Amino acid sequence: MRPKFKILITATEAVPYAKTGGLADVTGVLPKYLKQLGHDVRLVIPRYYEIDKVKYGLKEVQGALGVPMGVLGEEWCGVFEGKIPETDVPVYFIEHERYFGRKNLYNDDNGQGYMDNDNRFAFFSKACLQLCKKLDFYPDIIHANDWQTAAIPILLNTTYKHDALGKAASILTIHNIQHQGSFYEGLMDVLGIGWEHFNFLELEFNNQVNLLKGGILHSTLITTVSDGYAKEIQSPEYAWGLEGVVKERAGSLYGILNGCDYSEWNPETDKYIVKNYSENDLSGKLECKRDLQKTFGLPVRDDIPVFGIVSRLVKQKGVDILSEALYSLFDLDAQFILLGTGEVWSHFYFGGAPKFFPDKIGVHIGFNNELAHKIEAGSDFFIMPSRFEPCGLNQMYSLRYGTLPVVRATGGLNDTVDNFNEQEMTGTGFKFYDPAANALFNTIGWSVYTYYNNKPAMKKLIANAMQKRFTWENSAKKYEDVYYLAVRRRQNIYISS
C-alpha cells in the first residue's frame, strides 16, 4: 500500500476560477483525482478581480497573513477559502488588492507583462508557504507550476530549509518553457534568500534572475506535460536557452500527459452539437457537419472534406505556417473552418479570407466554446501545425470526436497521434515533421487524397481515433508515482529501480 500524502498544489490559474491556458486545466482538475486516490490535497491560487467570492461561496479565513518581502518589508494579505466545485478539495485564495486586484492575470491590455510581475509572483510564492504555517498544514509535497511559482522550490531549500516546511519535497511542472520569469537582479533583495544564490548554477541567467531556472535546479523532481516535450526541452530548438539546465536534471524529469475532460468533450453527450453520435453510429456526425457548414456560411456538401482549426492565433501554434499555406490549400477540393484569437495581423489575414473565397473558408475571430464543440464534431479533419506543443488538448478532443488530427509531430501531438500507415492500415491521424508550409500543404493533401480515394482507411482511422482515451485517472496515478519518488528522495532514501 502506498502512503497517503499531504499535498499542496500552488498555481496562478485554475479552472473554473481563472484560465489563460492548459495550465489551468491541470491545476483545477488534477486535485479531484488525487483526492480520489486518498490524498489530502489542497490548492492555492491568487484571488484575481474576476473571481467572484459570492458565486463560489468563498469564506474569509480569520486573520491577515504576513509575508516577508525582503527589502520591501513585511506585506499583508487576506485569505479566502472554498471548495473546488463538485469536489471536497479545499482551495485557498490569496487576496492582495495591489498585486491581484486587476483584470488580467499576467499582461496589460496591450499584451505586455505587468511591470511588477516579479514582486507579484514572488509575493504569491511566499504567501503559499506562509499559508501552510497559518493553517498548520505541513505538506509532504508542494507542487509548483511554471515560473510564477518556481520560487517555491528555491525558498524550500534556502529560507525554509531549517523550518518544518523545509521537509516538503517539491515538484515543479513545466507547462511551457518559453515563459521563464526572467527579471532584473534586484529581485534577489525581495526574495531575501541571499546574494550567494545569484550564480550561474542557481538563479542567474544572462545577468538576470531567472525563476524557472532556479526552480528547475532546486526542485526535488520536475515534470512536464508529455514525454516528447520532456525530451525536446533538452535541446536548443525548444528550450529557449535552458537546455543545459534541463539536461543537468534530466534524470529527475518525468513526462506526464494531461488528461482530457471527457465529461465535457464527448460526442455522445455533448450539449452544444445538433446531434449526438458514437463510434457505433456515426450518422449524427454528418448532421453536425451540415450544421457546421451552415453556421459558417459554406456550401452544404456531404461529399467534401471539412478541416477545422480552433487555436490561439500565435506563432507557437504555427499560425504563420498555416497563413503561408492557406492560399494553396484553396486549390484543393476541401473546406476550411477557423476559430481563434491572437496576434492582430492574423485577425485581418484570416478574417479577410472568406470575402475572397466564400466557398472555401469560414472564419470566426473570437473565443467561443460552443463553436469549438461544433467544429470538433462537424469537421472531418483537425489541423494543428504547432511549432511546439507541450501537451495540447484539441487533438485529444478531435480523436474522441472521430475528427482526424493533422498535426506537426512535436511534443504532446507526437505522443498522442499515431501516423497513418497505409500498408498496415493503422494510425489515428496524419503527421508532418518540418515546421514549414509545404510540409503542412503536402500532409493536408495526403489526407484529402485519403478522404476521396481510400474510404476503408478513413473508416478504420476514425474507429481507431474514437477508441483512444487519455484519462485524468491515469495521469493522477503517474503524478502519485512521482510524488512517492520525490518524498523518498527528499528523505534521502534513494530507490534503485
Is the CB of residue 10 less than 8 Å from the CB of residue 142? yes
Between residues 246 and 393, which has the closer beta carbon with respect to ligand ADP? 393
368 touches ligand ADP (CB under 6 A): yes
DSSP assignment of 431-480, as one string? EE-SSSHHHHHHHHHHHHHHHHH-HHHHHHHHHHHHH----HHHHHHHHH
177 touches ligand ADP (CB under 6 A): no
* Listed ranges 87-95, 107-115, 300-308, 364-372: which one lies at the site for ligand ADP (CB under 6 A): 364-372
203 touches ligand ADP (CB under 6 A): no
Query: How many chain residues interact with ligand ADP (CB under 6 A)?
Result: 16
Indicate which single residue of 12, 119, 159, 311 sits in contact with ligand ADP (rule: CB under 6 A): 311
Taking the C-alpha atoms of residue 127 and residue 223, their distance in angstroms, rounded to an integer, is: 23
394 touches ligand ADP (CB under 6 A): yes
Rounded to the nearest 5°, which phi and psi values hold at 81? -130, 140
Taking the C-alpha atoms of residue 108 and residue 150, their distance in angstroms, rounded to an integer, is: 22
Taking the C-alpha atoms of residue 217 and residue 136, their distance in angstroms, rounded to an integer, is: 28
* Listed ranges 244-252, 283-291, 306-314, 436-444: which one lies at the site for ligand ADP (CB under 6 A): 306-314
* Listed ranges 97-105, 124-132, 391-399, 478-486: which one lies at the site for ligand ADP (CB under 6 A): 391-399
Between residues 278 and 341, which has the closer beta carbon with respect to ligand ADP? 341
Site for ligand ADP in 325-354 (CB under 6 A): 339-341
* Listed ranges 79-87, 227-235, 389-397, 444-452: which one lies at the site for ligand ADP (CB under 6 A): 389-397
Q: Is the dihedral of CA 318, 323, 326, 328 positive or negative?
A: negative
372 touches ligand ADP (CB under 6 A): yes
Between residues 157 and 386, which has the closer beta carbon with respect to ligand ADP? 386
312 touches ligand ADP (CB under 6 A): yes
Rounded to the nearest 5°, which phi and psi values hold at 345? -55, -35
Helices (H), 330-471: 344-356, 369-378, 394-400, 411-416, 437-453, 455-467
Angle of helix 437-453 versus helix 319-329 axis, rounded to 10 = 50
Question: What does the angle CA 124 – CA 128 – CA 129 come to, to the nearest 5 degrees?
Answer: 125
Angle of helix 369-378 versus helix 283-295 axis, rounded to 10 = 130
Least separation in angstroms between CB 350 and ligand ADP: 12
393 touches ligand ADP (CB under 6 A): yes
Taking the C-alpha atoms of residue 260 and residue 466, their distance in angstroms, rounded to an integer, is: 13
Between residues 223 and 450, which has the closer beta carbon with respect to ligand ADP? 223
Taking the C-alpha atoms of residue 379 and residue 407, their distance in angstroms, rounded to an integer, is: 15
Indicate which single residue of 392, 402, 411, 429 sits in contact with ligand ADP (rule: CB under 6 A): 392
DSSP state of 403: -
Least separation in angstroms between CB 154 and ligand ADP: 26
Taking the C-alpha atoms of residue 426 and residue 409, their distance in angstroms, rounded to an integer, is: 17
Rounded to the nearest 5°, which phi and psi values hold at 337? -130, 125
Rounded to the nearest 5°, which phi and psi values hold at 250? -55, -35
Taking the C-alpha atoms of residue 137 and residue 158, their distance in angstroms, rounded to an integer, is: 20
Least separation in angstroms between CB 269 and ligand ADP: 17
Least separation in angstroms between CB 139 and ligand ADP: 27
Between residues 170 and 386, which has the closer beta carbon with respect to ligand ADP? 386
Site for ligand ADP in 98-137 (CB under 6 A): none
Site for ligand ADP in 10-29 (CB under 6 A): 21-22
* Listed ranges 56-64, 119-127, 366-374, 417-425: which one lies at the site for ligand ADP (CB under 6 A): 366-374
Least separation in angstroms between CB 15 and ligand ADP: 10
174 touches ligand ADP (CB under 6 A): no
Is the CB of residue 489 less than 8 Å from the CB of residue 275? no
Taking the C-alpha atoms of residue 400 and residue 396, their distance in angstroms, rounded to an integer, is: 6
367 touches ligand ADP (CB under 6 A): yes
Helix, strand, or coil (residue 214):
helix
Between residues 145 and 220, which has the closer beta carbon with respect to ligand ADP? 145
Between residues 141 and 306, which has the closer beta carbon with respect to ligand ADP? 306
Between residues 391 and 462, which has the closer beta carbon with respect to ligand ADP? 391
Is the CB of residue 45 less than 8 Å from the CB of residue 23? no
310 touches ligand ADP (CB under 6 A): yes
How many residues in the chain? 497
Least separation in angstroms between CB 327 and ligand ADP: 22
Least separation in angstroms between CB 272 and ligand ADP: 11
* Listed ranges 92-100, 152-160, 188-196, 386-394: which one lies at the site for ligand ADP (CB under 6 A): 386-394
264 touches ligand ADP (CB under 6 A): no
Residues of the shown chain interacting with ligand ADP in the complex, contacts defined by CB under 6 A: 21-22, 310-312, 339-341, 367-369, 372, 391-394
